[in-house]
Amino acid sequence: MSFDYDLFVIGGGSGGVRAARVAAGETGAKVALAEEDRYGGTCVIRGCVPKKLMVFASEYAGMVEDAQAYGWDIQPGAFDWDVFRGKLYTELDRLEGVYRNILKNNGVETFDMRARLVDAHTVELSDGTRKSAKHILIATGGRPVKPEIKGADLGITSNEIFHLEKLPERMLIVGGGYIACEFAGIMNGMGVEVTQYYRGAQILRGFDDEARGLVSEEMCQNGIKLHLGTNVLEMEREGDRIRVKATNGDEELFDQVMFATGRVPNADDLGLEGLGVELGRKGQIVVDDYSQTAVPSIYAIGDVTDRVNLTPVAIREGMAFVDTVFRGKPTPVDHALIPTAIFTQPEMGTVGLSEEEAAAQEPVEIYATSFKPMQTAFAGRGRRVLMKLIVSKANRRVLGCHIVAPGAGEMIQLVGIAVKMGATKEDFDRTVAVHPVMAEELVTLRQPVRSA
């Protein structure tokens, strides 16, 4: 049977674009890709990239204070949201152009429209055109959702926060995951009065307790009004503001409310019903270790599969898919020991098991230190950092590393290599320290602070 394409990719985010351009450019496959929105997906257009640029922008106020403490005659000024937003949009347009050119230069035919599956080898575009393909890859990502409460439509999500006409004076952020906590720090740094509600006992559920506890403490020190064990009951418009009733009895007025209370896979209305593609409880596409669905010709990668919802993971899954399908090298996706950065303020980097996870698995020793780093201590700021290693008592392997500090994301990328290779505590000890840097503490931790 002949097909129009060897591969048809639905979704122009990081994972789909990587799979399409590598399959076309490096294996000679005939590839097409359909994207109904902007190329680059969540990460480039409404996620990692604009968020990190906002993190950078939000940190300059503190830098001015530090510079003054170091003797610089610098006076703080006002943050101009319009100037920043204009440059942000220009940069996102540039990056989208890069993604489009990558596909074009590798011979991928693109369709700027929605695509749905008709059968195991056919997709239908929104203009009614049908295309056949030997293999179909779904890489449609995910999207934020709002809770089902009265007045929820008055709030925004992480999709809309980059498009605010002006910065609010007072803002409520609802949620306790990394997206909520990152934007709480961003908006606080830009001069917004930030309140954060989280229904749980502590933010950043699933991360190491000691590390997330320090992040929470420092966020409060930075001026964020964090209310734990608190959720929104209902919201209503009151003039130009939003009146929010909370479960703790508070009633407050805010200029903006942002919900960061969960995301769902973009697997609906793809025509999967009746094809035999299995969907999970959250609506995610169920795949095996090779990203293959129950229909042999249909594969799925990235957030739509709800495995590990990180951009580099989607890219890695796309590469493994190409190796498996087009290079004849069956390659399962390795989701173990993925280094992760959370761009809170302070930043957090983590790889491997938390203390709680490790202690439930086997006897461990905990090596940790918390201190005031030289740069901010000199400037008179009381910020603390944390360096922590989780070590197996049985084989001395470092099972986890957790860093809360400026630049933690940069540090954890390199620590991740050692942990992935199975480094032991003694391997860390044999490494000569780089002095004076914060990360030297990772190789100078001599005595465990506790066993678990």
Burial label, 288 (beta-carbon count in 10 A; 0-12, 13-18, 19+) = exposed
262 is in an annotated binding site: yes
Residues 285 and 141 sit within 8 Å (Cβ to Cβ): no
CA count, 13 A, side-chain hemisphere, 151: 16
303 is in an annotated binding site: yes
352 is in an annotated binding site: no
372 is in an annotated binding site: no
Q: What is the 3-state secondary structure (H, E, C) of the chain?
A: CCCCEEEEEECCEHHHHHHHHHHHHHHCCCEEEECCCCCEHHHHHHCHHHHHHHHHHHCHHHHHHHHHHCCCCCCCCCCCHHHHHHHHHHHHHHHHHHHHHHHHHCCCEEECCCEEEEECCEEEECCCCEEEEEEEEECCCEEECCCCCECHHHCECCCCHHHCCCCCCEEEEECCCHHHHHHHHHHHHCCCEEEEEECCCCCCCCCCHHHHHHHHHHHHHCCCEEEECCCEEEEEEECCEEEEEECCCCEEEECEEEECCCEEECCCCCCCCCCCCCECCCCCECCCCCCECCCCCEEECHHHHCCCCCHHHHHHHHHHHHHHHHCCCCCCCCCCCCCEEECCCCCEEEEECCHHHHHHHCCEEEEEEEECCHHHHHCCCCCCEEEEEEEECCCCEEEEEEEECCCHHHHHHHHHHHHHCCCEHHHHHCCCCCCCCHHHHHHCCCCCCEEC
176 is in an annotated binding site: yes
217 is in an annotated binding site: no
Residue with tokens 């990394």: 178
403 is in an annotated binding site: no
Total number of residues shown for the chain: 452
What token pair was written down for 356?
């709680």
| Choice among 135, 163, 402, 435 that is catalytic | 435
69 is in an annotated binding site: no
Residues 155 and 161 sit within 8 Å (Cβ to Cβ): no
407 is in an annotated binding site: no
Sign of CA dihedral 13, 304, 37, 136: positive
435 is catalytic: yes
115 is in an annotated binding site: no
349 is in an annotated binding site: no
Residues 423 and 391 sit within 8 Å (Cβ to Cβ): no
Residues tagged in the binding site annotation for FAD: 52, 303
Residues tagged in the binding site annotation: 52, 175-182, 262, 303
Catalytic residues: 435
Residues tagged in the binding site annotation for NAD(+): 175-182, 262
